[in-house]
Structure 1
Amino acid sequence: MDNSIWMVAAFYLLSAVIIVSALLVVFLKNIVHSVLWLAVCFIALAGLFLTLDADFLAAVQVLVYAGAVCIMVVFGIMLIQRGDMGKTNLFNSQTGVAAGVVALVLVVSGYLSAATHWVGTAAPVPHKTVEHIATLLLSKYVIPFEVAALLLLVALVGAIILAKEVKAKC
């Protein structure tokens, strides 16, 4: 079979996984299960980036979102320490308003997609994108890269100290 057929099949399969897992994130009543489905959604999105030859974005998606963000949400859930986790993600009274906003966004997105003149050929994708980004990060942008890492470390230590103080008061 042709390689493009596999890419189209992977696109539709990953898109279906993303949509189903995103709906499960919203509609499940257990917040821990919602976070697990959020991780599935993020990993499927990374797979979608791989079909677009965006390997660096796929790696960042898995490391930052599926790894760090989901783990931080689980830590937040563990710090709350609710007795019964079965109904921690209850619906609120704004479901109708949210459904209307989502419908409006879908209609506008569909209209803009239909009205856009799509170019038949795509620009060539540079190979070894991670190598180029790494070279820039570790040469030209090394100072901002290290400052961002230091700020993240300070934020993490501050969050741990705040969590310990809250725990001690209880």
Structure 2
Amino acid sequence: MTVHDALFACLGLISAASAICAVTTRQIVHAALWLTVCLATLSGCYLVLGAELVALVQLLVYVGAVVVLVLFAVMLTRAPIGRSGDHDAPIMTRMAALVIAAATGGLLFSAFVSAFGTRRARIDSGTTTDLAQNLFGRFAWPFEVVSLVLLAALVGALAMIGSRRSGGGR
């Protein structure tokens, strides 16, 4: 076991534990903060694997933008910071979610074991130039359309909140 293996295992365990905490916590702000830890350690996993560009994009897009957007939405909607009965699920729903999650994890594990077994898979990674040509060439328009849809959703959410505060809604 090399230092890279140990570091990857440590970051993976922290990422998995923080993901479980993000899903199981009953406080919305804590869930967003645990999500931040999960995504940041996942970026560290990418860095250990030698995918520096993917690690940087993970930090910039997910940690820097998505989590900030989630926290921004929590603040705009004035969601309760502490525990809330509105966000609690019955025990049977939690157990059903646990069974489904365990079944999905077992299915993925068995699929990977049957596909790869104990042999090592060789990954033919492309270069940053290949990624840039695909992103700014072939996928430029879909990327722009997605950004416009997200912008429209944000403007719509702000409009709904503004009309609700001024007395126009509910």
* TM-score bracket relative to the smaller structure: 0.7 to 0.9
Q: What is aligned with 1:86? A: 82
TM-score, scaled relative to structure 2: 0.78
Name which structure has the greater RCO, CA cutoff 8 Å, separation 6+: 1
Indicate whether 1:125 and 2:125 are aligned: yes
Task: Report the CA distance between 1:38 and its aligned residue.
Answer: 0.4
Identity of aligned residues (%): 30
User: Hey, what's the Cα distance between the residues in 2 that align with 1:27 and 1:159?
Assistant: 27
Equivalence map 1:124-163=2 (5 Å): 124-127=124-127, 129=128, 131-138=129-136, 142-163=140-161
* Alpha-carbon distance change, 132 to 126 in structure 1, aligned in 2, over 3 angstroms: closer
SS of match in other structure, 2:83 = coil
Q: What is aligned with 2:114? A: 115
Q: What is aligned with 1:77? A: 74
* Alpha-carbon distance change, 121 to 81 in structure 1, aligned in 2, over 3 angstroms: closer
**Aligned equivalent of 2:17, options 20, 45, 52:** 20
Task: Report the CA distance between 1:143 and its aligned residue.
Answer: 4.8
Task: Report the CA distance between 1:142 and its aligned residue.
Answer: 4.6
User: Hey, what's the Cα distance between the residues in 2 that align with 1:112 and 1:136?
Assistant: 29
Unmatched 5+ stretches in structure 1: none
User: Hey, what's the Cα distance between the residues in 2 that align with 1:124 and 1:141?
Assistant: 21
Indicate whether 1:51 and 2:48 are aligned: yes
Unmatched 5+ stretches in structure 2: none
User: Hey, what's the Cα distance between the residues in 2 that align with 1:5 and 1:137?
Assistant: 35
Asked if the contact 2:22/2:31 (under 8 Å) is kept, the reply is yes
Q: Which amino acid aligns with 1:133?
A: L
Task: Report the CA distance between 1:139 and its aligned residue.
Answer: 5.1
User: Hey, what's the Cα distance between the residues in 1 that align with 2:62 and 2:7?
Assistant: 21
Equivalence map 1:99-114=2 (5 Å): 99-114=98-113
TM-score, scaled relative to structure 1: 0.78
Asked if the contact 1:42/1:66 (under 8 Å) is kept, the reply is yes
* Alpha-carbon distance change, 113 to 28 in structure 1, aligned in 2, over 3 angstroms: same
Task: Report the CA distance between 1:141 and its aligned residue.
Answer: 5.0
